[in-house]
Each structure stands twice: as structure tokens, then as C-alpha cells.
Amino acid sequence: MKFEDFLFTHDGADLFEKTQGLDEVLTSGVMTGSEGLGIRLSEKTSPEVKIKEKSGSEHKVIMLGSNSYLNLNTNKKVCEAAMRAIEKFGYGMGAVSVYAGITDIHKELEKRIANFYGCEDAVLFPSGYGTNIGVISALCSKNDIIINDSANHASIFDGSKLSGAKLKIYPHGDIKALEKILQKLKNTNAAKLIITDGVFSMYGDIAKLDIICDLASYYGAKVMVDDAHGLGIVGATGKGSAQACNVEKRIDLNVGMLSKTAGAIGGYCATTKKIAQYLRHYARSYFFSTSLPAPVVAGLNEVFKLLEHDRAGRKELWLNITLLREKLSKAGFNTENTQSGIIPIVIGNESILFKMHQDLRLSGVYTNIVTYPAVRRKDCRLRLCAMKDLTKTQIERAVEIISKIGKKYGVI
């Protein structure tokens, strides 16, 4: 079975025939890589957590598959703020932001995010996916050109398609290819937007934002960075990929997600007042979506208080990132050029990947599984995410289990 086998309706077929085909494969007993998807948590996310298998059985795993790098989703002050907001505002807002769906704490959060990036304003979106969809489709149209890194998040590509703009794609991290595209567009009158992840979610490396900004300035393009996995982690004080590349004042659209380091849900775009005002009127995923619940927003205000002053545990996290990466590399695994809390283990064979992912989970280590369409099949991988609260003992035990299973399948 391949993912693309069930994407389209065959000529003359019933619209829902492909759903039957997928079901037959998933229930056939053939390993597809989906065995560990949709596993349920039986308690709050932590470095060692009880999960429930699809069979109903429960067991503990060392959690190396959570985006809550700094464990802020269980931070005491964050949770207490959320509880106070429930008492005052209830658990949901009941309206979109442009009607009566926001409070003072929503505006406080937008201000905190704007200040964090040194921008004039910021716009909150109720989902991360909807942030990229909304920002890109609002600002770009059929008369414009969008230039994407091939490893950008799916939501960036979906927003680009939705905008109707002409789309150009350069191979992941290939700055020479990006410049060739810009050179060919030098004499066009079309407005140009270069979009890149800050930290690439499947590779863990950081975009060369200093060079990208230089090229954008020279060729008259704007720059948008989705720093979902960079917020609070990379940069001298955790300000993200732009800080890591010393271009904090050169990014036109600072997009981030509140579902990774921040441990909640939602997204944002920090930018100028005029662009933010425009987004509030033209970003359909903002205009037509109910706003973030007040308890989530209250918790996020506490999160950004910690991030503003680099007091969220970034240094402790980096000790764990370094330890995990070094031990995996020493064991013989290919972790590529990771520069963040994302540590890939390249497998390169889907059949082995599916078996390893299954064995790891059942042996007490939860990782994320990554293959097509997120990456090419020959680059399929396990994606590990380090967490601040992991202990040295847990990391060593996890690497021991991963190494044992890696040897079993000839990966190392």
C-alpha cells in the first residue's frame, strides 16, 4: 500500500470507494506504519507516561514524541492561570474574534507576542495550520509569486495553493537554487514572498535566514518565517531562528505556533500594525473561526512571561538535547544536521521503519514515525523530540532500547 493509492477517485468509481480500499488494507494485518498512530494518553504528557494501545492495554513509555519541549503544558503557574480564566470566562468564547470573541487577556497575549519579536502588533489564530493558511492566502494572490523551501510544512504549501499565487520551490536548504529562482524573476513586476520554516520539522536544522534575508533584500522580496519549532528553543535567549541567525529585525512576517514549545493550541503572526490590521480583515481562517478559549490564552500569557525572560528551562532542555543526540550518534545512528530539539534517526527503508516504530513503542519508547508525504520514502525516519524534564536515566534507557532494536534490524 502507498499513501497516494487512495488520494483520488478512479474514473467511474463511487466517491467513497477509496475509503473502502484503505479500510481493507488497514484491517488486513499487513504492517502499514499506522499501528502506532492514534495511541491514547492515559494521563498528562510527561517524560514517562502511560499510554493506551488500540487493543485497550496500557503501559508506560519514555515520551520522545511530544512537541512540548519545555513541559509548559503542565507548568504549575500556566495551569493555575488557565483555571482562573475558566472561573471568569468559561471554557469557550462562543464567537469569532472580530465580533465579541476576545477579552483583555487575548489582547494582552497579542501584545506580549509582538514585544517578544520586537514588532508593532501580532494576530492570534485559533490553530497553527489555520495561521499559515490565513496569512498566506490573505496577503498573496494570483498576481504574486511565492517561493518555498521544499521541506516547508504542509500548511505552508496548502496556503500557497489556496492563495492562487504562482509557486516556485527550491530543494531543501539549497541557497544557490533559491538565488537562481530570484535571478530569473528579477525583471518581473510581480510581488515576491520567500517562505521558510525556521527550524525544519522533519530534519531539525535551521534555515539560513541571514543569507535568505540578504537575497530578499537584493531581489526585492519579502520574507515569512514559520518558527513553530524554534520558539523558546533556538537563539541566544530562545527568541527563535531569526535570533540564531541575527536577523530579528529583517523578517517581515514572524509566524509561530502555540502548540509546540508553548504547549497549547493556536498560532500567530507578529508584524507591523498595518499588516496585522489587514490580516484581521482578510485572513479567512481568522475572520471565520471562533477565537481561542480564554483559559488557553491565560495560560499562554504565563508562557510568554517565562519566554520573554528566558526562564522557561531552555538551558536544561539543551543539556538533554545534547545528551540524547550524542548518545544516539555514538551508537551509530544517522541524526543528520539537527540544530534543535528535533532529533531524526534516518532509517531509509519503510518496512524496517514500520517494524522499528512498533517494537520501540511496545518496548517502552514512544517516537514519531515519518515517511511520505512528509519526507521522501528513501529518507523515512523516526523523529525524536527532547523534553526538558527527561532525566539522564530515562535518556540512557531510551537510547539502550533504541540501539537494541536498531541492531535487530541492521540500522546500526
Q: What is the pLDDT of residues 282-309, one digit of tens each?
A: 999 999 999 999 999 999 999 999 999 9
Which of 284, 308, 332 is where one domain is finished?
A: 308
**Do 377 and 232 belong together in one domain?**
no
**Do 66 and 84 belong together in one domain?**
no
Which of 288, 308, 328 is where one domain is finished?
A: 308
**Do 193 and 330 belong together in one domain?**
no
Instruction: Find the domain containing 63 and state its range.
Output: 28-70+313-408
Provide the mean pLDDT of the chain: 96
pLDDT at 247 over 90: yes
At position 204, the amino acid (one-letter code) is: G
CA–CA dist 49, 246 (Å, integer)? 38
Q: What is the pLDDT of residues 165-197, one digit of tens each?
A: 999 999 999 999 999 999 999 999 999 999 999
pLDDT at 1 over 80: no
Quickly tell me which residue has 514519531 as its cell: 368
What does the pLDDT read at residue 4? 85
Enumerate the active-site residues. Answer: 201, 229, 260
pLDDT at 152 over 80: yes
CA–CA dist 391, 393 (Å, integer)? 5
pLDDT, average across residues 49-66? 96
Q: Is residue 14 part of a domain?
A: no
Residue 101 contacts residue 128 (beta carbons within 8 Å): no
Q: Is residue 226 part of a domain?
A: yes
- How do strand 368-370 and strand 40-41 relate by DSSP bridges? unpaired
pLDDT band at 127 (very low <50, low <70, confident <90, very high): very high
Q: What percent of the chain has pLDDT over 90?
A: 96
What does the pLDDT read at residue 221? 98
Residue 253 backbone dihedrals phi, psi, to 5 degrees: -130, 105
What does the pLDDT read at residue 3? 82
**Do 139 and 249 belong together in one domain?**
yes
CA–CA dist 312, 216 (Å, integer)? 33
User: Quick one: CA torsion of 147, 150, 153, 156, rounded to 10 degrees?
Assistant: 20
Query: Of the candidates 77, 66, 45, which has an alpha carbon nearest to the alpha carbon of residue 304?
Result: 77
Q: Cα 120 to chain center, whole Å?
A: 24
Structurally, the chain folds into a number of domains equal to 2
Residue 314 backbone dihedrals phi, psi, to 5 degrees: -60, -40
Q: Is residue 6 part of a domain?
A: no
- How do strand 121-125 and strand 368-370 relate by DSSP bridges? unpaired
CA–CA dist 154, 173 (Å, integer)? 17
CATH at 97: 3.40.640.10
Among 30-34, 102-106, 274-278, the least confident range? 30-34
pTM score, whole prediction? 0.96
**Do 238 and 342 belong together in one domain?**
no
Residues 6+ apart with CB under 8 A from 293: 89, 91, 92, 93
